[in-house]
């Protein structure tokens, strides 16, 4: 990951703060450099300087106007909160060496990327601690390799590290770890950990508040556990009240910020975007060449197979997987823009990889060491790693576009390597209106 990050060097341009990553980051210069939460447009003006006049839209980085010439950000502030220590370091460095302390120059961009990469690696470390509670070290190593290298998480931990996915992965892994530990030994520190990380998850992406289902249903794998749950909750009601209060306090920071900016506690941030729950695009979301989860992350198929073996190794996690996964898929692919714009693979599902690491570990642990099936399963993981690194590299270098790809384009470019020139292959122009979804 660190090697791929070094090769990218996106902070030498303004590319890091374009699109979503710029919106996530814009909180920090607005508050700590310009001392006005409504000055998030300062970053937009800088991004606009790189663009043709027809593309100079503030919505490019998620800004919406308010009366009086101020702006607010459509994205929640969780990513900015995670980047704050790194922003402070970039600010101090810029001041010390005489660089402009505007919040936008290359040290700030490099800090945003490095923050995401650091959280991504820390997330794998937390996930390893969780896996070692249920699986031996070799199985854990294969599982970590599969998740870290064999899924689109790798792209969002390196080239796209300034987005929300890397830090969400860490928060999700930490929520799982604290949940598992609390149900083993109900101590206040684990309860507070559940509340803290659920609050941070919600503050980073509102829709992921549904991951609160994990601590609710964890361990409900038998009728006896279901009957004993009310007694357990009553016995530790004080701890759980603290957890809920902490989660609400952390998530509530967003409402305080909105009130500070606009005088309103709630703002309609995703204007013109919505869920269409009557028309979920599940088949497209899973199998479309445009962004299909199982197409670009075939390792997910092995994770799904592993659910069948999960009761043998981590029975407490079975209800969480069986309840959360269908709900998450339905909500994710009910978004009106089910492909989620420019990106590599199904990026909203990166957050569920810590949970799905458990069934992946179960299927890896269930095959006997000397059985041919073990070599077959490990060989499949290796193939998925090679495919993911190859196609991730193609995405980063522009060979595989992050939008509107077709089967013909995919087959034509599958073996292409940089340097890549559009004029020598199928031309690609991002559509003004995306074509109808097909799978």
According to the model, what pLDDT value does residue 429 have?
A: 38
Q: Please report which helix (H) or strand (E) contains residue 65, including its range.
A: strand 63-66
What tokens appear for 435 in the block? 């074509």
Are 354 and 130 a contacting pair, CB within 8 Å?
yes
User: With the C-alpha atoms ordered 6, 44, 166, 295, is the resulting torsion angle positive or negative?
Assistant: negative
What's the CA gap between 229 and 233, in Å, rounded?
6
Q: What is the mean pLDDT of residues 355-374?
A: 90
pLDDT digits (tens, 9 = 90+) for 69-127: 777 888 999 999 999 999 999 999 999 998 888 888 888 888 999 999 999 999 999 99
Distances (CA, A) of 433 to 190, 219, 276: 47, 46, 18
376-414 burial, b if ≥16 CB within 10 A, otherwise e? Answer: ebeebbeebbebbeebbbbbbeebbbbebbeeebeeebe
45 pLDDT band, cuts 50/70/90, is low
Q: Which of 136, 316, 88 is nearest to 221 (CA)?
A: 316
| Mean pLDDT value of segment 23-44 | 77
Rounding to the nearest 10 degrees, give the CA dihedral for residues 87, 117, 391, 362: -140
- Give the pLDDT confidence score for residue 44 in this predicted structure: 57
With tokens 């900016």, the residue in question is 261
Residue closest to 91 by CA, chosen among 83, 101, 81, 104 = 101
Per-residue pLDDT band for 427 (boundaries 50, 70, 90) equals: very low
H helical segments located in 14-103: 20-25, 27-32, 41-48, 78-97
Per-residue confidence (pLDDT) for residue 435, from 0 to 100: 37
Entry pTM: 0.90
Q: Bin 407: left if φ > 0, else alpha if -120 < ψ < 50, else beta.
A: alpha
- Average pLDDT score over the chain: 86
Q: C-alpha distances in angstroms, 135 versus 38, 356, 365, 367?
A: 49, 14, 7, 13
Specify the pLDDT at position 369. 76
Lowest mean pLDDT among 29-43, 76-90, 96-110, 143-157: 29-43
Residue 173, pLDDT score = 97
Q: Is the pLDDT assigned to residue 424 strictly greater than 80?
A: no
Average pLDDT over residues 20-44: 78
In this prediction, residue 47 carries a pLDDT of 55
Cα distance from N-terminal residue to C-terminal residue, the chain: 32
Please compute the mean of the pLDDT values over residues 32-43 and round it to a whole number.
72
- Residue 432 scores a pLDDT above 90: no
Over 80: is that where the pLDDT of 418 sits?
A: no
Given a cut of 80, whether residue 166 has pLDDT beyond it is yes
The Cα–Cα gap between 201 and 210 comes to 10
The tally of CA atoms less than 13 A away on the side-chain side of residue 263 is: 4
pLDDT in tens, 177-220: 999 999 999 999 999 999 999 999 999 999 999 999 999 999 99
């Amino acid at each position: 990951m660190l090697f791929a990050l070094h090769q990218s060097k996106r902070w030498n341009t303004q590319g890091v703060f374009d699109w979503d990553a710029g919106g996530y980051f814009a909180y920090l210069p607005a508050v700590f450099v310009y001392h006005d939460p409504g000055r998030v447009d300062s970053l937009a003006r800088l991004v606009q300087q790189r663009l043709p006049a027809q593309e100079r839209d503030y919505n490019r980085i998620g800004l919406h106007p308010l009366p009086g010439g101020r702006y607010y950000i459509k994205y929640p502030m969780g990513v900015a909160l995670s980047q704050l220590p790194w922003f402070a370091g970039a600010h101090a460095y810029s001041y010390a060496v005489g660089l402009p302390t505007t919040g936008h120059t290359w040290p700030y961009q490099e800090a945003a990327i490095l923050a995401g990469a650091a959280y991504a690696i820390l997330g794998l470390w937390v996930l390893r601690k969780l896996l070692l509670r249920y699986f031996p070290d070799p199985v854990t190593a294969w599982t970590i390799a599969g998740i870290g290298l064999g899924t689109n998480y790798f792209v969002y931990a390196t080239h796209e590290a300034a987005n929300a996915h890397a830090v969400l992965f860490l928060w999700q892994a930490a929520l799982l770890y604290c949940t598992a530990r609390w149900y083993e030994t109900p101590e206040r520190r684990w309860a507070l950990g559940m509340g803290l990380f659920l609050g941070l998850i919600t503050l980073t992406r509102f829709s992921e508040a549904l991951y609160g289902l994990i601590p609710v249903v964890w361990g409900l794998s038998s009728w006896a556990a279901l009957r004993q749950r009310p007694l357990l909750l009553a016995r530790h009601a004080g701890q759980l009240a603290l957890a809920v209060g902490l989660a609400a306090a952390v998530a509530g920071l967003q409402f305080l910020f909105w009130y500070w900016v606009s005088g309103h506690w709630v703002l309609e941030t995703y204007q013109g975007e919505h869920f269409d729950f009557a028309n979920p695009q599940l088949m497209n979301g899973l199998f479309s060449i445009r962004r299909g989860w199982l197409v670009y992350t075939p390792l997910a198929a092995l994770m799904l197979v592993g659910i069948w073996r999960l009761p043998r190794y981590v029975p407490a996690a079975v209800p969480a997987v069986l309840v959360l996964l269908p709900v998450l898929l339905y909500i994710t692919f009910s978004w009106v823009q089910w492909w989620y714009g420019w990106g590599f693979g199904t990026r909203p599902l990166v957050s569920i990889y810590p949970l799905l690491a458990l069934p992946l570990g179960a299927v890896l642990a269930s095959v006997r060491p000397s059985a041919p099936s073990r070599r077959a399963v490990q060989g499949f993981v290796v193939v998925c790693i090679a495919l993911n690194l190859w196609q991730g590299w193609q995405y980063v270098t522009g060979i595989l576009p992050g939008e509107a790809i077709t089967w013909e384009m995919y087959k034509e470019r599958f073996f292409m390597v940089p340097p890549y020139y559009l004029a020598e292959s199928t031309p690609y122009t991002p559509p003004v209106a995306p074509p109808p979804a097909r799978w």
